[in-house]
Amino acid sequence: MSETGSSYAPDPGHPPVSPEELAARLASKLCHDFISPAGAIVSGLDLLDDPSAKDMRDEAMDLIAASARKLVDQLTFARVAFGSTAGVSLFDCAELERLTRGVYAHVRADLDWAVTAISLPKPAGQVLVNLAQLATGALPRSPEGRKRGSTQTSRTASPAHRSATVSAAAGCRPTTSTP
């Protein structure tokens, strides 16, 4: 175990990713996520501008509205999932659920939010919503993504040294019930 108490050991076959590379990968992923609804908004506006497509006005407006909602949902989610959210030390789990449901509203997977905690420390909340977003890509054929979270704090530790953990599981709904 290291001085920080972590037993994590990097895979020797995969060198660690530098902070710069991680930032570049995150920026690329965000651009990928945002370009689709932004492009759809532009396409809808092009349809509205096209004199030969006057019969498609309602469809164009529906496309613009749905794409704008998707873009706002993704941007709001990304701000919490990846942003610094200055001054925030705890996340309200109801707000995390609302943000996560916003992302799931635009994918085929369904969300079964089973987080019982009222709030989570900022790092744990960010890990939970990031796992939820990863599940949307891992479950492309309409199974259910289940998020479970709990905090465990030591009553003997001082408030500054209390540790919080989140356990989150993403997967298909089991055919038999499991605890």
CATH T-level assignment (fold) for domain 19-83: Helix Hairpins (1.10.287)
- β-strand pairing of 90-92 with 119-121: antiparallel
CA 168/CA 127 separation, integer angstroms: 9
Q: Do domains 19-83 and 88-153+165-172 have the same CATH topology?
A: no
pLDDT at 151: 53
The rounded average pLDDT for each run of 10 residues, N- to C-terminus, in the chain (179 residues) is 57 84 90 95 95 92 96 94 82 95 88 92 93 80 55 39 30 31
- β-strand pairing of 110-115 with 144-149: parallel
91 forms beta bridges with 120
pLDDT at 1: 47
The class (CATH top level) of 88-153+165-172 is alpha beta
Asked if residues 84 and 43 have their Cβ atoms less than 8 Å apart, the reply is no
Domain ranges of the chain: 19-83, 88-153+165-172
| C-alpha of 110 from chain center | 13
Q: pTM surpassing 0.85? A: no
pLDDT at 144: 55
pLDDT at 168: 33
CA 90/CA 56 separation, integer angstroms: 46
pLDDT at 174: 27
